[in-house]
Amino acid sequence: MADLCPVCGKTLRPALASWHFECGECSYEGSNLEPKILEQAAGGDLDEEGRETALSVLRKSNFALLARRLGELLGDREGGKLLDVGSAHGWFLDAMSGRLEGVGLEPDVAVAAAARQRGVRVRSGFFPDALEPGERFDVISFNDVLEHIPDINATLQACRERLVPGGWLVINAPSRRGVLYRVSRLMLRLGMAGPFDRLWQRGFPSPHVHYLDTRVVKALAERHGFRLEQQMSLPSMKIRGLYSRIRYAKDVAVPKAMAMTALLGLAYPVLAAMPPDIQVWFVRKRE
């Protein structure tokens, strides 16, 4: 990654791991982990079927909440267009069906093909290269996606160019203020790197290269001609599907996955009352 903070331009400093960096001026955290989504082994580096099973309950529930809030922000606005970047199985497009004309972009060819087979409008490719010249949208959403894109400033600038005046940018991402992330940092300092590596998705085809918070999102939004209007939190865990979620990384052994599932299950009531690990920021393009 670059030596300068993408938010404030100050020099980044080495932090908790050889690949992890922090800004001493603002609250930005980043990594130099490299995406390899197009270089996966045959069949993928993850158990994609297990991943879909693991995430479906949580994601569909969260997308229903997100769609409701977005609908409130859109008000009486009808007939608009939605672009869901990194749309995966198309669950957010499903949630917004009937409200906006939606299309997804998904770089994983197999996942995009599976979504199309069940009737979801999904194009294979990356944002904004897979778009047609002159295409404009009322809403562009990044659901667990923006934190994986190395050049966050170029991406936000492209969003501004592709949104209609007054259009909405929805950023749904892990929060560096969340309890699980804070606990993982503490565990790393105690010599247990596993949780920190997993939350950054180190070794995954598309690892995290940014960890965001409201201060960072607000600064980036203002730089690119947006205004942060609202935010909301979403649950980051459900008991149902938790074991599959832990196991979809093929390098996690069954006994370890069972132990982690039991531990997190016991801690769930406490974790649910702590600062959330998923934050959604609703950012609007200045007209």
What sign does the CA torsion over 51, 56, 61, 65 have?
A: positive
In a domain? residue 28: no
Asked whether residue 38 is domain-assigned, the answer is no
Using CA atoms, how far apart are residues 128 and 161, in angstroms rounded to an integer?
A: 10
Residue pair 201/195 in contact by the 8 Å Cβ criterion? no
Q: Which residue carries 């995290």 as its tokens?
A: 208
Cα 95 to Cα 66, 91, 115, 117, distances in angstroms? 9, 6, 14, 18
Quote the pLDDT of residue 247: 46
pLDDT at 167: 97
Report pLDDT for 245: 47
| Residue 228, domain CATH | 3.40.50.150
pLDDT at 267: 56
Supply the pLDDT for residue 190.
96
What Rg do the C-alpha atoms of the chain give, in angstroms?
18
pLDDT at 238: 47
Is there a domain that residue 211 lies in? yes
Query: Is 22 inside a domain boundary?
Result: no
How would you write the pLDDT of the chain (287 residues) with one tens digit per residue? 458 999 999 999 999 999 999 999 999 999 999 988 766 544 454 445 545 555 678 899 999 999 999 999 998 777 799 999 999 999 999 999 989 999 999 999 999 999 999 999 999 999 999 999 999 999 999 999 999 999 999 999 999 999 999 999 999 999 999 999 999 999 999 999 999 999 999 998 899 999 999 999 999 999 999 999 999 999 875 445 544 544 445 555 566 556 555 655 555 555 555 678 999 999 999 97
Contacts of 258 (CB under 8 A, 6+ apart): 243
Smallest Cα–Cα separation from 247: which of 67, 47, 42, 24?
47
Judge whether 102 lies within some domain.
Answer: yes
Distance CA 186, CA 180 (A): 10
Q: For strand 20-23 and strand 29-31, is the pairing parallel, antiparallel, or unpaired?
A: antiparallel
* Containing structural domain, residue 273: 45-285
Q: Quick check: is 263 in a domain?
A: yes
| 215 burial type by CB count under 10 A (0-12 exposed, 13-18 middle, 19+ buried) | middle
Which strands sit side by side in the sheet containing 122-124, from one edge to the other? 122-124, 101-106, 81-85, 137-143, 163-174, 278-285, 226-234
> Residue 11 and residue 17: Cα distance in Å, rounded?
17
- Identify whether 93 is part of a domain: yes
Total domains, the chain: 1
pLDDT of 47 reads: 46
CA separation for the pair 136, 42 (Å, rounded): 35
Report the predicted TM-score, pTM, of the whole model to 2 decimal places: 0.85
Q: Is 256 part of any domain?
A: yes
Question: CB neighbours of 62 closer than 8 A, spacing ≥ 6?
Answer: 172, 234, 235, 278
In the chain the beta strands, taken as DSSP E runs, fall at 12-14, 20-23, 29-31, 81-85, 101-106, 122-124, 137-143, 163-174, 210-211, 226-234, 278-285
Query: Can you give the pLDDT at residue 271?
Result: 56
C-alpha–C-alpha distance, residues 131 and 145, integer Å: 17
Q: 135 by DSSP, 3-state: which?
A: coil
